[in-house]
Copies of this chain bind each other. A is one copy, B any other.
Amino acid sequence: MARELLILKGDIIFTPMLGEFAIHENSYLVVQCGKVRGIYQMLPQEYQGLGVEDCTGDLIIPGFVDLHTHAAQFMQRGFGLDMELLDWLNHYTFPEEGKFQSTDYAAKVYALFAEELIKQGTTRAAVFGTIHQQSNCLLFQILVRKGIGAYVGKVNMDANCPEFLKENTSESLAATEKLLCEWAGNTLVKPIITPRFAPTSTGTLLAGLGEIAVKYNLPVQSHLAENLSEIAWVRELFPGQREYHNVYDYYNLFGQTPTLMAHCIHLSADAISCMARQQVVAVHCPDSNLNLTSGIMPARKLLQAGVRVGLGSDIGAGHSLSIPEAIVKAIQLSKVNFLRDNSQKPLTLAEGFYLATKGGGSFFGKVGSFEEGYAFDALVIKDRADLGLSLEERLQRFIYTGEPSQIHGRYIAGKKI
């Protein structure tokens, strides 16, 4: 399927640059071997006579990228949200994650999670599993079967967590290496090194994970500077490191290979410039920022400093897998930041949309845009085209008020799913 030519016709809109829409009304998008070949007002001679998927009047946009989500917290969305991070982890999250000892439970929940990702129009995701080897394999297989593009992380924890989630350090490292060797051959779903966060890791664990990341050139994902109590705790636990990010950096988990850091709310100027220099991607999870009363990520400040930024749902601290909702809330929270500090200009729709597509997509390679050579991850959206709106206004209306049922077509790497 992905090898054949694919031609779609419709109203095409995407963001090749932060804050800039490329708009091709009623145009042809040609895909070859799963990658965008070009966009044409008139179909070139060489493609004429071939079948065209006629989406005239529909929007064709890049699929959404979720750069931070916890598959094992899917059943936990929407409650326990009158608590802050550390209490919420102990009261709700750790007990729920403990259930993934059972592969039956994991199979059920991970299937629901994957279906919801697809329903919401997410085509690529960076996903946390749990510590449980068998259940992580199921998660991996389910995502492969569904055709979703993903990085999947086996979570590592060997300190400061309930006994039922605490791993033996060397077993944790061995399990990680075993899994990633098993998963190495895949193209769409791939492994990612995933220490939960510094507080639930010994230095030995972090050192071992950094070694594996570098040895196999594997990407890394974790959490950074979400909550003030968490930051104080990291300072106690790692007194030899100046700041939170230095802990990861010391152990080769901060840009030595491609790295995602969720939250990045309370960062010093030093930390921000280190992220920019080492190309660490900051993942903005607006619902989670608010639900756990963590603070608000200063997205504009990070962008201005040259940090790469993407969006994440962060379920269950976030309550929805919808990336359009994350775009709206990222824009809304940027307005809150602006009200406090008018040097932090609000994000525009075109900026929010970029973060959710090409911004996050860049972690997966050429993903999140319709420029030539990009993987064709796309959504076809039916909207009421009866109002004389511009494409930009129609996109804005879909992002703010749309429903998953309006998504009539989904493509990942050129394959219709």
Write the residues of chain A forming the contact surface with B, with a CB cutoff of 8 angstroms: 75, 77-82, 287, 290-291, 293, 295-296, 319-320, 328, 331-333, 335-336, 338-340, 346, 348-349, 387, 389, 393, 396-402
Output the least CB separation between A300 and chain B (Å): 13
A332 & B291 in contact (Cβ 8 Å cutoff)? yes
Output the least CB separation between A336 and chain B (Å): 6
Can you list 29 pairs linking A and B with CB atoms under 8 Å apart? A75-B387, A77-B400, A77-B401, A78-B397, A78-B398, A78-B399, A79-B389, A79-B393, A79-B396, A79-B397, A79-B400, A81-B331, A81-B349, A82-B346, A82-B349, A287-B332, A290-B332, A290-B335, A290-B336, A293-B335, A293-B338, A293-B339, A295-B339, A296-B336, A296-B339, A319-B401, A320-B400, A336-B336, A340-B340
Q: Which residues of B contact A328 (CB under 8 A)?
A: 319
Output the least CB separation between A258 and chain B (Å): 31
Query: Which residue on B lies nearest to A348, using beta carbons?
Result: B82
Q: Which residues of B contact A396 (CB under 8 A)?
A: 78-81
Q: Which residues of B contact A332 (CB under 8 A)?
A: 287, 290-291
Q: Which residues of B contact A75 (CB under 8 A)?
A: 387
Further 14 A-B residue pairs, CB within 8 A, beyond A81-B349, A296-B336, A319-B400: A75-B387, A77-B397, A77-B400, A78-B397, A78-B400, A79-B396, A80-B396, A81-B400, A82-B346, A82-B349, A287-B332, A293-B335, A293-B346, A296-B339
Output the least CB separation between A91 and chain B (Å): 12
Taken together as a complex, chains A and B put the C-alpha atoms of A405 and B121 apart, in Å, by 20
Output the least CB separation between A332 and chain B (Å): 4
Q: Which residues of B contact A287 (CB under 8 A)?
A: 332
Q: Which residues of B contact A399 (CB under 8 A)?
A: 78
Taken together as a complex, chains A and B put the C-alpha atoms of A166 and B113 apart, in Å, by 53
Output the least CB separation between A392 and chain B (Å): 8
Q: Which residues of B contact A397 (CB under 8 A)?
A: 77-79
Q: Which residues of B contact A331 (CB under 8 A)?
A: 81
Taken together as a complex, chains A and B put the C-alpha atoms of A402 and B79 apart, in Å, by 12
Output the least CB separation between A72 and chain B (Å): 15
Query: Which residue on B lies nearest to A397, using beta carbons?
Result: B78
Output the least CB separation between A397 and chain B (Å): 4
Taken together as a complex, chains A and B put the C-alpha atoms of A340 and B331 apart, in Å, by 19
Q: Which residues of B contact A80 (CB under 8 A)?
A: 393, 396
Q: Which residues of B contact A387 (CB under 8 A)?
A: 75
Q: Which residues of B contact A79 (CB under 8 A)?
A: 389, 393, 396-397, 400
Taken together as a complex, chains A and B put the C-alpha atoms of A340 and B319 apart, in Å, by 23
B320 & A401 in contact (Cβ 8 Å cutoff)? yes
Query: Which residue on B lies nearest to A295, using beta carbons?
Result: B339
Taken together as a complex, chains A and B put the C-alpha atoms of A77 and B387 apart, in Å, by 12
Q: Which residues of B contact A400 (CB under 8 A)?
A: 77-79, 81, 319-320
Taken together as a complex, chains A and B put the C-alpha atoms of A77 and B393 apart, in Å, by 11
Q: Which residues of B contact A78 (CB under 8 A)?
A: 396-402
Taken together as a complex, chains A and B put the C-alpha atoms of A369 and B328 apart, in Å, by 32
Q: Which residues of B contact A81 (CB under 8 A)?
A: 331, 349, 396, 400
Q: Which residues of B contact A77 (CB under 8 A)?
A: 397, 400-401
Of A79, A290, A291, A320, chain B has the most CB atoms within 10 Å of the CB of A79
Taken together as a complex, chains A and B put the C-alpha atoms of A78 and B392 apart, in Å, by 11
Q: Which residues of B contact A340 (CB under 8 A)?
A: 340
Query: Which residue on B lies nearest to A352, using beta carbons?
Result: B82
Which 6 pairs across A and B sit closest by C-beta, in order of nearness? Answer: A78-B400, A290-B332, A78-B401, A78-B397, A319-B400, A293-B335
Output the least CB separation between A410 and chain B (Å): 20
Q: Which residues of B contact A339 (CB under 8 A)?
A: 293, 295-296
Query: Which residue on B lies nearest to A404, using beta carbons?
Result: B403
Output the least CB separation between A339 and chain B (Å): 6
Taken together as a complex, chains A and B put the C-alpha atoms of A333 and B338 apart, in Å, by 15
Output the least CB separation between A337 and chain B (Å): 10
